[in-house]
Structure 1
Amino acid sequence: MAEITVVGSINMDIVALTSRYPRHGETIFGDSVKTLCGGKGANQAIACARLGKSVNIIGSIGIDSNGQEIEKNFKENQIDTTFLKRVDNVSTGCAIITVDATAENTMLVVKGANDLLTEQDVRNAFSQIKNNKILLVQMEIPEEAVICAMTEAKNKGMFIILDPAPAEGVTKKALLYADVITPNLQETKQLTGIDVTSIETAIKAAKYLEQHFGVKNSVIKMAEKGALVYENGNGNFIESIRVKAIDTVGAGDSYAGALACALADGESLESAARFAAIVAALKVSKLGAQKGLPTIEEINVFCAENNLNYYGLQTN
């Protein structure tokens, strides 16, 4: 049986590279374009599988060429597709992504088949899931499906990680079921109204989440600065790993996947966040939300070359 269940969005990404973003109404020439498998749920599932974990995915795709390519990609990465819903007459979700010279990105997402994942689909899947440790979920699918997944997971004693993205889709109800949430700077501001620019403001935001939403555990991702791990009133700052950034698309998903893997291994939240920082660093140094996701073997080589360690053990 799988160790980790991911419930979330599945998309095909159309990624255009450009030196700069066009201004409103402007036409410019880009450098290249690629079509790659993506979607937050799919990215996080692949991230976990690349790191050596058994994973199943609960999500919805269209019966079209993109859906076929995505399903093939899942199977190549040893993802269990038993609970993958396939719908007719609705296209597989699609994200149109622009990446500029600084490796930052903008996205336009068309949800497509993602919007057709129902509570019943989720309930049917969880009725067959046994001995799972972790649920990883985001907010790019219907809220009722998210809440159903979190409720079912809670009933099975699973640890629930909520990646509150996009922030506009997060509700107080979803926050109530999460054991830990992993907002980035934009999502933190959306949830708390606090502009995180320092460790002090990150702690302030984490305390706001606890006081107003009952979120006792959070990992506030501060982009290239690092992350603030907040547990039961205490905050610990973890610095990021310095690399040359090529593509930040999927960085947050690699982080969430790595966090889930470490927690499945019984690591503390702080130890898991240190591992996630290493995985995310290696991801942003490569192109592609999924193609750029590192394997556990690549992580070990990277750590040995850079004198890094995780899980409290030296890798060299």
Structure 2
Amino acid sequence: MADVTVVGSINMDIVALTNHYPQHGETIFGERMELLAGGKGANQATACARLGKSVYMVGSIGQDSHGDILYDSFQTNGVNTAFVKRVKDYSTGCAIITIDPTAENTMLVLRGANDALTKEDIRHAFSQISDSKVLLVQMEIPEEAVIEAMIEAKKKGMYVILDPAPAEGVTERALGYADLIVPNRQETKQLTGIDVVSVDDAFKAAKYFELIGVKNSIIKMAEKGSLVYQEGKIEFIEPITVKALDTVGAGDSYAGALACAIADGENLVSAARFASIVGALKVTRLGAQAGLPTIEEVDKFCEEWDVIYYQIGERKSSHA
């Protein structure tokens, strides 16, 4: 049994910290290198597990050392790996990431075994999944697998969340199956042509998504907060300002937290507030997965920062 099903990418992240990025043809010395578990799908599944939810991961890794590490990471974090496929003809997906002192990053992704996930794999998994309330998908695996997962989830009455990253992989067909889309500023601009620098811009983007069939959206504006749009109604979510160390995986922690709250019946506004808190805590720590907080750490963070906290399954506030 699982509250949430995540269908998506599984990667090994090779993370280099540097004082500045090299120019074309330039060689520089970095500060240090980390080998960390990653991939948008894997990050989101791990986020759900750390927040106390049961979660299925549906994805593909190679039969190599990186695949072994990632499989063990799932086991350690309590992610159900019954539908993680291992393939001989592909190496495990890999992301080469550089992070500068501002916590901004560049990323080169080699999809590898992620491309081996097929419609047949999805059908096999969903033939045995009957209890999940939420499906969470992204676009780092073949589109046909994403679409098939959304179709199968709809048949089972699951709530479908689409994290439209990378945006170039998103099609109108994929958007048509989504109950909720959660783009960041860059993804919103690529999908709508609107550069979201204000709440008014976010509202216009949400209306655009509604016109093409997505009734619910959360437009993320990073340090400027986010806008929840739900069938014509809007709510602005104030940002939580922290000193960022590593923004890699911030969106994934947000999406995972959102899925957890929705699985427990929270409305989109309370779910988005909870996701904002989890995302803020994540960026203060290194590693797309290593930096993901547990529900106990979220509790402590809220007490220290004196912020309103919508705990999964029950609402409460910390000193508010």
TM-score (norm 1): 0.98
Cα RMSD, aligned residues only? 0.8
Residue 37 in structure 1 maps to residue 37 in structure 2: yes
- Residue by residue over 1:37-73, the C-alpha shift from the partner in whole angstroms, topping out at 9 and shown as x without a partner, is 0000000000000000000100000000000000000
What is the CA-CA distance between 1:314 and the residue it aligns to? 1.9
The whole-number CA distance in structure 2 between the counterparts of 1:315 and 1:152 is 39
The whole-number CA distance in structure 2 between the counterparts of 1:265 and 1:132 is 11
Q: Secondary structure at the match of 2:82?
A: coil
User: Amino acid of the residue matched to residue 106 of structure 2?
Assistant: T
What is the CA-CA distance between 1:235 and the residue it aligns to? 1.7
Q: Secondary structure at the match of 1:173?
A: helix
- Residue by residue over 1:177-206, the C-alpha shift from the partner in whole angstroms, topping out at 9 and shown as x without a partner, is 000000001100011001111001110111
Single out whichever of 44-53 and 14-23 deviates more from structure 2: 14-23
Equivalent in the alignment of 1:314: 317
Equivalent in the alignment of 2:96: 96
The whole-number CA distance in structure 2 between the counterparts of 1:314 and 1:111 is 41
Residue 295 in structure 1 maps to residue 294 in structure 2: yes
- Residue by residue over 1:96-137, the C-alpha shift from the partner in whole angstroms, topping out at 9 and shown as x without a partner, is 000011001110000000000000000000000012100000
The whole-number CA distance in structure 2 between the counterparts of 1:231 and 1:275 is 17
Equivalent in the alignment of 2:189: 189
The whole-number CA distance in structure 1 between the counterparts of 2:115 and 2:274 is 33
What is the CA-CA distance between 1:90 and the residue it aligns to? 1.2
Equivalent in the alignment of 2:220: 221
Equivalent in the alignment of 2:272: 273
The share of aligned pairs that are identical, in percent, is: 70
Residue 107 in structure 1 maps to residue 110 in structure 2: no
The whole-number CA distance in structure 1 between the counterparts of 2:241 and 2:307 is 12
The whole-number CA distance in structure 1 between the counterparts of 2:208 and 2:89 is 44
The whole-number CA distance in structure 2 between the counterparts of 1:236 and 1:24 is 44
TM-score (norm 2): 0.97
Residue 66 in structure 1 maps to residue 69 in structure 2: no
User: Amino acid of the residue matched to residue 268 of structure 2?
Assistant: L
Residue 248 in structure 1 maps to residue 266 in structure 2: no
User: Amino acid of the residue matched to residue 269 of structure 1?
Assistant: L
What is the CA-CA distance between 1:315 and the residue it aligns to? 3.8
Residues 87-236 of structure 1 correspond to what in structure 2 (within 5 A)? Answer: 87-211=87-211, 213-236=212-235
* Count of matched residue positions in the alignment of Structure 1 and Structure 2: 315
User: Amino acid of the residue matched to residue 210 of structure 1?
Assistant: E
Consecutive aligned runs of 4 or more in structure 1 exceeding 6 Å deviation: none
Q: Secondary structure at the match of 1:83?
A: strand
Residues 44-63 of structure 1 correspond to what in structure 2 (within 5 A)? Answer: 44-63=44-63
User: Amino acid of the residue matched to residue 134 of structure 1?
Assistant: V
User: Amino acid of the residue matched to residue 4 of structure 2?
Assistant: I
Equivalent in the alignment of 2:80: 80
User: Amino acid of the residue matched to residue 310 of structure 1?
Assistant: Y
The whole-number CA distance in structure 2 between the counterparts of 1:34 and 1:54 is 28
- Residue by residue over 1:17-44, the C-alpha shift from the partner in whole angstroms, topping out at 9 and shown as x without a partner, is 0111112222111111100000000000
User: Amino acid of the residue matched to residue 180 of structure 2?
Assistant: V
What is the CA-CA distance between 1:89 and the residue it aligns to? 2.6
What is the CA-CA distance between 1:260 and the residue it aligns to? 0.3
What is the CA-CA distance between 1:310 and the residue it aligns to? 2.3
The whole-number CA distance in structure 2 between the counterparts of 1:81 and 1:7 is 12
Residue 15 in structure 1 maps to residue 15 in structure 2: yes
- Residue by residue over 1:236-257, the C-alpha shift from the partner in whole angstroms, topping out at 9 and shown as x without a partner, is 1111111110000000000000
Structure 2 alignment gaps of length 5 or more: none
The whole-number CA distance in structure 2 between the counterparts of 1:288 and 1:3 is 25
Structure 1 alignment gaps of length 5 or more: none
What is the CA-CA distance between 1:309 and the residue it aligns to? 2.4
Q: Secondary structure at the match of 1:207?
A: helix
The whole-number CA distance in structure 1 between the counterparts of 2:293 and 2:308 is 16
Equivalent in the alignment of 2:27: 27
User: Amino acid of the residue matched to residue 226 of structure 1?
Assistant: G
